[in-house]
Amino acid sequence: MITNGVKVDNIKVYNKDGGNKTGSKRDYIVLLDNLRSSYNVGNIIRVVEAFGFREICFTGITACPPHKKIMKTAMGAENHIEFRYFRESADGVMYYKKRAYPIISLERTNRSIKLMEFPFKSKGCIVLGNESLGINTRILDLSDAILEIPMYGFKNSINVSNAFSMLAYEIVRREKTDKRF
């Protein structure tokens, strides 16, 4: 077959689920600090599952499955990961801190470390904040590290689910290339 002048007979598109038969999980948790968009939540669920992270912790006003908008965006990924809910974000953070998970917040602050420079470990609790307000300052104070994705344009930040996708990829990329991970 020829498409736009390019022969594509030897290309096989993988469009079926179940590519990772082992179902192995990375010991990473994602804590959502009062996210307001159900579509962002659904996309984050899909990324968590795709990169093999262990669980998602919903806090405050963050919508949880089953929710129509979440399930539309997550496309079934919600059936393959664990969930936990806390009314207060700080309670969720303390739950994971007591279980020896380093708390790693993704936010641009005067204390932030660039994502590419952070020495990831074999486990962690990633905190993602509200689309307008960011991460609660109490949570930032409880964080072991605050990471930022450098911005090179006019805008201060990018969409929370897009930012998380970049962070998740960086963790997995490092795991595959860094022998100390």
The domain spans of the chain are 22-177
| CB contact at 8 A, 98 and 125 | no
| CB contact at 8 A, 47 and 164 | yes
What distance in Å separates the CA atoms of residue 169 and residue 47, rounded to the nearest whole number?
Answer: 9
Was domain 22-177 assigned CATH 3.30.390.30? Answer: no
Two structure tokens written together for 17 = 């689920």
> If 0-12 CB within 10 Å is exposed, 13-18 middle and 19+ buried, where does residue 119 land?
exposed
User: Residue 27's beta-bridge partner residues?
Assistant: 123
Q: Is the pLDDT of residue 180 over 60?
A: no
Two structure tokens written together for 111 = 């204390």
Q: Between 123 and 22, whose confidence is greater?
A: 123
pTM: 0.89
Q: Between 57 and 17, whose confidence is greater?
A: 57
Closest by alpha carbon to 51, among 148, 164, 160?
Answer: 164
Q: Which helix (H) or strand (E) holds 133?
A: none
Average of per-residue pLDDT across 128-152: 97
State the pLDDT at residue 16.
Answer: 76
State the pLDDT at residue 176.
Answer: 82
Which one-letter amino acid corresponds to residue 51? F
- What sign for the dihedral angle of Cα 130, 134, 140, 143? positive
Tens of pLDDT along 81-135? Answer: 999 999 999 999 999 999 999 999 999 999 999 999 999 999 999 999 999 999 9
Average of per-residue pLDDT across 46-61: 96
Helix axes 38-50, 160-177, angle to 10 degrees: 10
